[in-house]
Amino acid sequence: MTFMPAYGAAVKKRLFTPGPTPIPESVLLKMSEPIIHHRNPEFQEILTRMHDNLKYLFQTDHPVVALTCSGTGGVEATFVSLFSPGDTIISVNNGKFGERWVRMPRTFGLEVEEIAIPWGSAPTVEQILDALKRRPEAKAVYLTQSETSTGTATDVKAIAAAVNEEYDALVCVDGISAVGAMELRFDEWGIDVCITGSQKGLMVPPGLAFVAVSARAIAAMERSTMPRFYLDLGRALKSYKANDTPWTPAITLLIGVDVSLRLIREEGLEKVWERHTRLSNAVRAGVSGMGLRLFSQNPSNAVTAVWMPEGIDWKAFNRVLKHDHGITIAGGQDSFAGKLFRISHLGYYDDLDVIAVISAIEKSFVACGYQFEVGSGLSSAQALLV
Protein backbone atom coordinates (compact mmCIF):
# COMPACT_ATOMS: atom_id res chain seq x y z
CA MET A 1 0.00 0.00 0.00
CA THR A 2 1.45 3.37 -0.95
CA PHE A 3 0.31 6.76 0.10
CA MET A 4 0.76 10.25 -1.28
CA PRO A 5 4.11 11.83 -0.49
CA ALA A 6 4.28 14.95 1.63
CA TYR A 7 3.03 18.10 -0.06
CA GLY A 8 5.82 20.34 1.23
CA ALA A 9 4.62 23.85 1.93
CA ALA A 10 1.02 22.89 1.10
CA VAL A 11 0.71 20.65 4.16
CA LYS A 12 -1.92 22.33 6.30
CA LYS A 13 -0.99 22.63 9.97
CA ARG A 14 -3.54 21.22 12.38
CA LEU A 15 -3.20 21.30 16.13
CA PHE A 16 -4.71 18.48 18.21
CA THR A 17 -3.07 19.22 21.55
CA PRO A 18 -4.94 19.81 24.82
CA GLY A 19 -3.54 23.30 25.17
CA PRO A 20 -2.81 25.35 23.28
CA THR A 21 -5.89 24.58 21.23
CA PRO A 22 -6.89 26.00 17.82
CA ILE A 23 -8.20 29.56 17.76
CA PRO A 24 -11.35 30.55 15.85
CA GLU A 25 -10.77 33.00 13.00
CA SER A 26 -13.04 35.65 14.54
CA VAL A 27 -10.97 35.56 17.74
CA LEU A 28 -7.70 35.88 15.80
CA LEU A 29 -9.02 38.79 13.77
CA LYS A 30 -10.27 40.68 16.81
CA MET A 31 -6.93 40.22 18.57
CA SER A 32 -5.07 41.63 15.57
CA GLU A 33 -6.72 45.04 15.94
CA PRO A 34 -4.71 47.95 17.39
CA ILE A 35 -4.36 47.65 21.14
CA ILE A 36 -6.54 49.73 23.47
CA HIS A 37 -5.77 51.00 26.95
CA HIS A 38 -7.01 48.98 29.90
CA ARG A 39 -8.27 51.99 31.84
CA ASN A 40 -10.49 53.38 29.13
CA PRO A 41 -14.28 52.91 29.00
CA GLU A 42 -14.10 50.76 25.89
CA PHE A 43 -12.08 48.16 27.78
CA GLN A 44 -14.32 48.38 30.85
CA GLU A 45 -17.24 47.55 28.61
CA ILE A 46 -15.38 44.46 27.40
CA LEU A 47 -14.56 43.41 30.96
CA THR A 48 -18.16 43.88 32.09
CA ARG A 49 -19.48 41.68 29.28
CA MET A 50 -16.70 39.14 29.77
CA HIS A 51 -17.38 38.87 33.50
CA ASP A 52 -21.03 38.21 32.76
CA ASN A 53 -20.24 35.57 30.14
CA LEU A 54 -17.68 33.91 32.43
CA LYS A 55 -20.47 33.39 34.95
CA TYR A 56 -22.44 31.68 32.23
CA LEU A 57 -19.45 29.50 31.34
CA PHE A 58 -19.00 28.35 34.94
CA GLN A 59 -22.78 28.32 35.59
CA THR A 60 -22.44 30.56 38.58
CA ASP A 61 -23.70 33.79 40.10
CA HIS A 62 -20.40 34.16 41.97
CA PRO A 63 -17.40 36.12 40.72
CA VAL A 64 -15.05 34.62 38.15
CA VAL A 65 -11.79 36.54 38.35
CA ALA A 66 -9.36 36.81 35.42
CA LEU A 67 -5.63 36.69 36.18
CA THR A 68 -2.76 37.30 33.80
CA CYS A 69 -0.82 34.06 34.14
CA SER A 70 -1.22 30.55 32.81
CA GLY A 71 -3.59 28.04 34.42
CA THR A 72 -0.95 26.96 36.93
CA GLY A 73 -0.78 30.54 38.21
CA GLY A 74 -4.55 30.44 38.71
CA VAL A 75 -4.20 27.36 40.92
CA GLU A 76 -1.28 28.92 42.78
CA ALA A 77 -3.46 31.98 43.44
CA THR A 78 -5.94 29.72 45.23
CA PHE A 79 -3.31 28.09 47.44
CA VAL A 80 -1.79 31.42 48.50
CA SER A 81 -5.08 33.30 48.84
CA LEU A 82 -7.35 30.84 50.65
CA PHE A 83 -5.13 29.09 53.19
CA SER A 84 -2.50 29.69 55.84
CA PRO A 85 0.78 27.85 56.41
CA GLY A 86 0.11 24.64 58.34
CA ASP A 87 -3.42 24.20 56.99
CA THR A 88 -4.27 20.75 55.71
CA ILE A 89 -5.65 20.10 52.26
CA ILE A 90 -6.49 16.88 50.46
CA SER A 91 -5.20 16.52 46.93
CA VAL A 92 -5.78 13.78 44.38
CA ASN A 93 -2.80 12.61 42.35
CA ASN A 94 -3.99 10.62 39.35
CA GLY A 95 -1.79 12.26 36.74
CA LYS A 96 0.74 14.95 35.98
CA PHE A 97 -1.52 17.82 37.03
CA GLY A 98 -2.89 16.14 40.14
CA GLU A 99 0.73 15.51 41.12
CA ARG A 100 1.44 19.22 40.67
CA TRP A 101 -1.43 20.03 43.08
CA VAL A 102 0.27 17.82 45.66
CA ARG A 103 3.73 19.34 45.24
CA MET A 104 2.79 22.99 44.84
CA PRO A 105 0.88 23.47 48.12
CA ARG A 106 3.74 21.78 50.02
CA THR A 107 5.99 24.56 48.68
CA PHE A 108 3.77 27.02 50.55
CA GLY A 109 3.89 25.12 53.83
CA LEU A 110 0.51 23.44 53.52
CA GLU A 111 0.01 19.93 54.91
CA VAL A 112 -1.04 17.79 51.99
CA GLU A 113 -2.89 14.51 52.36
CA GLU A 114 -2.21 12.89 49.02
CA ILE A 115 -4.68 10.46 47.50
CA ALA A 116 -2.43 8.63 45.06
CA ILE A 117 -4.24 6.53 42.53
CA PRO A 118 -2.95 4.86 39.38
CA TRP A 119 -2.69 7.22 36.43
CA GLY A 120 -5.62 6.59 34.09
CA SER A 121 -8.06 6.00 36.97
CA ALA A 122 -10.38 8.49 38.63
CA PRO A 123 -10.89 8.91 42.39
CA THR A 124 -14.04 7.39 43.88
CA VAL A 125 -16.34 9.14 46.34
CA GLU A 126 -15.22 6.58 48.96
CA GLN A 127 -11.54 7.42 48.48
CA ILE A 128 -12.28 11.09 49.05
CA LEU A 129 -14.45 10.44 52.11
CA ASP A 130 -11.81 8.10 53.57
CA ALA A 131 -9.20 10.83 53.25
CA LEU A 132 -11.55 13.27 54.97
CA LYS A 133 -12.10 10.74 57.76
CA ARG A 134 -8.33 10.57 58.24
CA ARG A 135 -7.97 14.35 58.06
CA PRO A 136 -11.29 15.87 59.19
CA GLU A 137 -9.47 19.17 59.76
CA ALA A 138 -8.81 19.46 56.00
CA LYS A 139 -9.71 22.90 54.69
CA ALA A 140 -10.12 21.80 51.07
CA VAL A 141 -10.25 18.92 48.63
CA TYR A 142 -8.50 19.48 45.27
CA LEU A 143 -9.76 17.55 42.26
CA THR A 144 -8.86 17.63 38.57
CA GLN A 145 -12.05 17.30 36.56
CA SER A 146 -10.24 16.36 33.36
CA GLU A 147 -6.72 15.02 34.02
CA THR A 148 -5.16 16.05 30.74
CA SER A 149 -2.04 13.90 31.09
CA THR A 150 -4.10 10.69 31.13
CA GLY A 151 -7.36 11.77 29.47
CA THR A 152 -9.34 10.88 32.60
CA ALA A 153 -12.56 12.43 33.90
CA THR A 154 -13.39 12.77 37.60
CA ASP A 155 -17.01 12.78 38.77
CA VAL A 156 -16.88 16.20 40.40
CA LYS A 157 -20.64 16.36 40.86
CA ALA A 158 -20.83 13.18 42.97
CA ILE A 159 -17.71 13.99 44.98
CA ALA A 160 -18.80 17.58 45.70
CA ALA A 161 -22.21 16.35 46.86
CA ALA A 162 -20.67 13.76 49.21
CA VAL A 163 -18.10 16.19 50.64
CA ASN A 164 -20.64 18.95 51.16
CA GLU A 165 -23.01 16.63 52.97
CA GLU A 166 -20.63 15.82 55.81
CA TYR A 167 -17.67 18.21 55.76
CA ASP A 168 -16.81 21.89 55.64
CA ALA A 169 -13.83 21.39 53.34
CA LEU A 170 -13.91 23.58 50.24
CA VAL A 171 -14.34 21.71 46.97
CA CYS A 172 -11.63 23.06 44.64
CA VAL A 173 -11.55 21.96 41.02
CA ASP A 174 -8.80 22.19 38.44
CA GLY A 175 -11.17 22.64 35.51
CA ILE A 176 -8.41 23.80 33.20
CA SER A 177 -9.12 21.28 30.43
CA ALA A 178 -12.73 20.61 31.50
CA VAL A 179 -14.39 24.02 31.43
CA GLY A 180 -16.12 24.43 28.10
CA ALA A 181 -15.75 20.72 27.31
CA MET A 182 -17.52 18.85 30.09
CA GLU A 183 -20.62 19.57 32.09
CA LEU A 184 -19.74 21.72 35.06
CA ARG A 185 -22.29 23.56 37.19
CA PHE A 186 -20.42 25.54 39.80
CA ASP A 187 -23.39 26.68 41.89
CA GLU A 188 -25.67 23.69 41.49
CA TRP A 189 -22.92 21.18 42.27
CA GLY A 190 -21.67 23.09 45.31
CA ILE A 191 -18.18 23.85 44.05
CA ASP A 192 -16.12 26.50 45.90
CA VAL A 193 -13.22 27.11 43.56
CA CYS A 194 -12.78 26.30 39.90
CA ILE A 195 -9.89 27.31 37.67
CA THR A 196 -9.46 27.35 33.92
CA GLY A 197 -6.97 28.81 31.43
CA SER A 198 -7.35 30.70 28.17
CA GLN A 199 -5.60 28.18 25.89
CA LYS A 200 -7.94 25.24 26.51
CA GLY A 201 -11.72 25.18 26.08
CA LEU A 202 -11.71 28.96 25.72
CA MET A 203 -9.88 28.75 22.37
CA VAL A 204 -7.55 31.72 22.98
CA PRO A 205 -3.72 31.76 23.18
CA PRO A 206 -2.09 30.95 26.55
CA GLY A 207 -1.62 33.65 29.19
CA LEU A 208 -4.82 33.97 31.20
CA ALA A 209 -6.31 32.06 34.13
CA PHE A 210 -9.87 32.32 35.40
CA VAL A 211 -10.87 31.51 38.96
CA ALA A 212 -14.47 31.15 40.13
CA VAL A 213 -14.91 31.63 43.88
CA SER A 214 -17.90 30.81 46.10
CA ALA A 215 -18.97 32.87 49.12
CA ARG A 216 -17.22 30.30 51.35
CA ALA A 217 -14.03 30.65 49.31
CA ILE A 218 -14.20 34.44 49.66
CA ALA A 219 -14.63 34.05 53.43
CA ALA A 220 -11.57 31.75 53.48
CA MET A 221 -9.59 34.45 51.66
CA GLU A 222 -10.29 36.87 54.47
CA ARG A 223 -8.76 34.44 57.01
CA SER A 224 -5.67 33.52 54.97
CA THR A 225 -2.27 34.67 56.24
CA MET A 226 -0.15 33.30 53.40
CA PRO A 227 2.38 35.77 51.94
CA ARG A 228 1.35 36.80 48.42
CA PHE A 229 1.36 39.80 46.16
CA TYR A 230 0.80 39.45 42.42
CA LEU A 231 -1.41 36.37 42.70
CA ASP A 232 -3.58 37.78 45.47
CA LEU A 233 -7.14 36.73 44.63
CA GLY A 234 -8.57 39.12 47.21
CA ARG A 235 -6.96 42.05 45.46
CA ALA A 236 -8.10 40.76 42.06
CA LEU A 237 -11.62 40.40 43.44
CA LYS A 238 -11.65 43.98 44.68
CA SER A 239 -10.74 45.23 41.21
CA TYR A 240 -13.19 42.81 39.63
CA LYS A 241 -16.05 44.46 41.50
CA ALA A 242 -15.12 47.75 39.82
CA ASN A 243 -14.78 46.06 36.41
CA ASP A 244 -11.09 46.71 36.63
CA THR A 245 -7.84 44.77 37.07
CA PRO A 246 -5.14 45.36 39.71
CA TRP A 247 -2.26 45.33 37.20
CA THR A 248 -1.88 45.69 33.45
CA PRO A 249 -3.74 42.64 32.19
CA ALA A 250 -3.04 40.72 28.98
CA ILE A 251 -5.42 43.11 27.20
CA THR A 252 -5.25 41.41 23.81
CA LEU A 253 -6.01 37.99 25.27
CA LEU A 254 -8.94 39.34 27.27
CA ILE A 255 -10.33 40.82 24.07
CA GLY A 256 -9.96 37.37 22.50
CA VAL A 257 -11.76 35.75 25.43
CA ASP A 258 -14.59 38.25 25.07
CA VAL A 259 -15.11 37.03 21.50
CA SER A 260 -14.73 33.33 22.32
CA LEU A 261 -17.22 33.57 25.19
CA ARG A 262 -19.71 35.15 22.82
CA LEU A 263 -19.15 32.22 20.42
CA ILE A 264 -19.80 29.77 23.27
CA ARG A 265 -22.92 31.66 24.28
CA GLU A 266 -24.16 31.73 20.72
CA GLU A 267 -23.71 27.98 20.31
CA GLY A 268 -25.15 27.40 23.78
CA LEU A 269 -23.13 25.85 26.61
CA GLU A 270 -25.08 22.59 26.65
CA LYS A 271 -24.62 22.30 22.89
CA VAL A 272 -20.90 22.89 23.38
CA TRP A 273 -20.78 20.05 25.94
CA GLU A 274 -22.79 17.82 23.58
CA ARG A 275 -20.38 18.57 20.73
CA HIS A 276 -17.47 17.52 22.92
CA THR A 277 -19.27 14.32 23.86
CA ARG A 278 -19.98 13.57 20.21
CA LEU A 279 -16.43 14.26 19.02
CA SER A 280 -14.79 12.39 21.88
CA ASN A 281 -17.02 9.37 21.25
CA ALA A 282 -16.03 9.44 17.57
CA VAL A 283 -12.30 9.72 18.38
CA ARG A 284 -12.51 6.82 20.85
CA ALA A 285 -14.42 4.74 18.29
CA GLY A 286 -11.85 5.67 15.64
CA VAL A 287 -8.79 4.54 17.56
CA SER A 288 -10.58 1.46 18.92
CA GLY A 289 -11.64 0.62 15.36
CA MET A 290 -7.95 0.51 14.38
CA GLY A 291 -7.38 -2.06 17.10
CA LEU A 292 -5.82 0.34 19.61
CA ARG A 293 -6.54 0.44 23.33
CA LEU A 294 -7.71 3.45 25.31
CA PHE A 295 -5.53 4.32 28.29
CA SER A 296 -8.13 5.75 30.65
CA GLN A 297 -10.62 3.79 32.74
CA ASN A 298 -12.92 6.81 32.68
CA PRO A 299 -12.21 8.85 29.54
CA SER A 300 -12.44 12.63 29.48
CA ASN A 301 -14.33 14.45 26.74
CA ALA A 302 -11.45 16.88 26.29
CA VAL A 303 -8.62 14.55 25.30
CA THR A 304 -8.25 10.87 24.41
CA ALA A 305 -5.17 8.97 25.58
CA VAL A 306 -4.32 5.85 23.60
CA TRP A 307 -1.70 3.12 24.09
CA MET A 308 0.84 3.03 21.28
CA PRO A 309 0.59 -0.29 19.46
CA GLU A 310 3.21 -2.90 20.37
CA GLY A 311 6.47 -2.49 18.46
CA ILE A 312 5.68 0.92 16.91
CA ASP A 313 8.03 3.74 17.80
CA TRP A 314 6.23 6.87 19.06
CA LYS A 315 8.91 9.21 17.73
CA ALA A 316 8.79 7.76 14.23
CA PHE A 317 4.99 7.82 14.24
CA ASN A 318 4.89 11.39 15.49
CA ARG A 319 7.43 12.45 12.87
CA VAL A 320 5.26 11.13 10.02
CA LEU A 321 2.14 12.73 11.51
CA LYS A 322 3.85 16.09 11.77
CA HIS A 323 5.97 16.10 8.66
CA ASP A 324 3.69 14.41 6.14
CA HIS A 325 0.33 15.44 7.52
CA GLY A 326 0.95 18.66 9.48
CA ILE A 327 -0.76 17.16 12.53
CA THR A 328 0.45 17.86 16.06
CA ILE A 329 -0.82 15.55 18.78
CA ALA A 330 0.57 15.05 22.29
CA GLY A 331 2.64 12.18 23.64
CA GLY A 332 2.58 10.47 27.01
CA GLN A 333 4.09 12.19 30.03
CA ASP A 334 6.65 10.97 32.58
CA SER A 335 6.70 7.17 32.78
CA PHE A 336 4.23 7.02 29.90
CA ALA A 337 6.46 8.95 27.48
CA GLY A 338 6.70 6.93 24.28
CA LYS A 339 3.93 4.59 25.43
CA LEU A 340 0.89 6.77 24.87
CA PHE A 341 -0.35 9.33 22.44
CA ARG A 342 -3.07 11.86 23.14
CA ILE A 343 -5.54 13.41 20.72
CA SER A 344 -7.23 16.59 21.84
CA HIS A 345 -10.81 17.42 20.91
CA LEU A 346 -11.00 20.36 23.27
CA GLY A 347 -12.35 23.65 21.96
CA TYR A 348 -12.67 24.66 18.33
CA TYR A 349 -13.27 21.30 16.61
CA ASP A 350 -15.94 19.83 14.42
CA ASP A 351 -16.81 16.48 12.83
CA LEU A 352 -14.41 16.87 9.93
CA ASP A 353 -11.50 17.60 12.27
CA VAL A 354 -12.06 14.18 13.81
CA ILE A 355 -12.05 12.59 10.36
CA ALA A 356 -8.82 14.45 9.52
CA VAL A 357 -6.96 13.35 12.63
CA ILE A 358 -8.14 9.72 12.45
CA SER A 359 -7.22 9.60 8.76
CA ALA A 360 -3.75 11.02 9.44
CA ILE A 361 -3.21 8.56 12.28
CA GLU A 362 -4.17 5.67 10.03
CA LYS A 363 -1.81 6.86 7.29
CA SER A 364 1.03 7.36 9.75
CA PHE A 365 0.57 3.91 11.27
CA VAL A 366 0.63 2.38 7.79
CA ALA A 367 3.91 4.23 7.15
CA CYS A 368 5.31 2.87 10.43
CA GLY A 369 4.35 -0.71 9.68
CA TYR A 370 1.48 -1.23 12.10
CA GLN A 371 -0.76 -3.98 10.73
CA PHE A 372 -4.47 -3.22 10.72
CA GLU A 373 -7.33 -2.93 8.29
CA VAL A 374 -6.93 0.47 6.64
CA GLY A 375 -10.13 2.50 6.94
CA SER A 376 -11.37 0.61 10.00
CA GLY A 377 -10.71 3.58 12.29
CA LEU A 378 -12.25 6.01 9.85
CA SER A 379 -15.42 3.99 9.35
CA SER A 380 -15.86 3.52 13.12
CA ALA A 381 -15.51 7.26 13.70
CA GLN A 382 -17.72 8.17 10.76
CA ALA A 383 -20.47 5.84 12.01
CA LEU A 384 -20.86 8.13 15.04
CA LEU A 385 -20.82 11.33 13.00
CA VAL A 386 -23.62 10.73 10.51
Ligand X SMILES: *Cc1c(COP(=O)(O)O)cnc(C)c1O
Residues that bind ligand X (CB under 6 A): 18-19, 70-72, 97, 144, 146, 148, 174, 176-177, 197, 206
**Which CB, 209 or 221, lies closer to ligand X?**
209
* Least Å from the CB of residue 78 to ligand X: 12
Query: Three-class SS string for the chain?
Result: CCCCCCCHHHCCCEECCCCCCCCCHHHHHHHCCCCCCCCCHHHHHHHHHHHHHHHHHHCCCCCEEEEECCHHHHHHHHHHHHCCCCCEEEEEECCHHHHHHHHHHHHCCCEEEEEECCCCCCCCHHHHHHHHHHCCCCCEEEEECEECCCCEECCHHHHHHHHHHHCCCEEEEECCCCCCCCCCCCCCCCCCEEEEECCCCCCCCCCEEEEEECHHHHHHHHHCCCCCCCCCHHHHHHHHHCCCCCCCCCHHHHHHHHHHHHHHHHHCHHHHHHHHHHHHHHHHHHHHHCCCCECCCCECCCEEEEECCCCCCHHHHHHHHHHHHCEECEECCHHHCCCEEEEECCCCCCHHHHHHHHHHHHHHHHHHCCCCCCCHHHHHHHHCCC
* Least Å from the CB of residue 73 to ligand X: 7
Compute the distance between CA of residue 279 and CA of residue 282 in angstroms, rounded to an integer. Answer: 5
| Cβ–Cβ < 8 Å for 100, 144 | no
**Which CB, 70 or 88, lies closer to ligand X?**
70
**Which CB, 18 or 377, lies closer to ligand X?**
18
* Least Å from the CB of residue 293 to ligand X: 22
* Least Å from the CB of residue 342 to ligand X: 11
Q: Judging by beta carbons within 10 Å of its beta carbon (0-12, 13-18, 19+), is residue 222 exposed, middle or buried?
A: exposed
* Least Å from the CB of residue 70 to ligand X: 3
* Least Å from the CB of residue 209 to ligand X: 7
Compute the distance between CA of residue 342 and CA of residue 247 in angstroms, rounded to an integer. Answer: 36
**Which CB, 68 or 144, lies closer to ligand X?**
144
* Least Å from the CB of residue 345 to ligand X: 13
**Which CB, 286 or 347, lies closer to ligand X?**
347
**Which CB, 206 or 234, lies closer to ligand X?**
206
**Which CB, 243 or 252, lies closer to ligand X?**
252
Cis-peptide, bond into residue 22, ω within 30° of zero: no
Which residue lies nearest ligand X, judged by its C-beta? 71
**Which CB, 177 or 380, lies closer to ligand X?**
177
**Which CB, 172 or 367, lies closer to ligand X?**
172
* Least Å from the CB of residue 180 to ligand X: 12
* Least Å from the CB of residue 106 to ligand X: 17
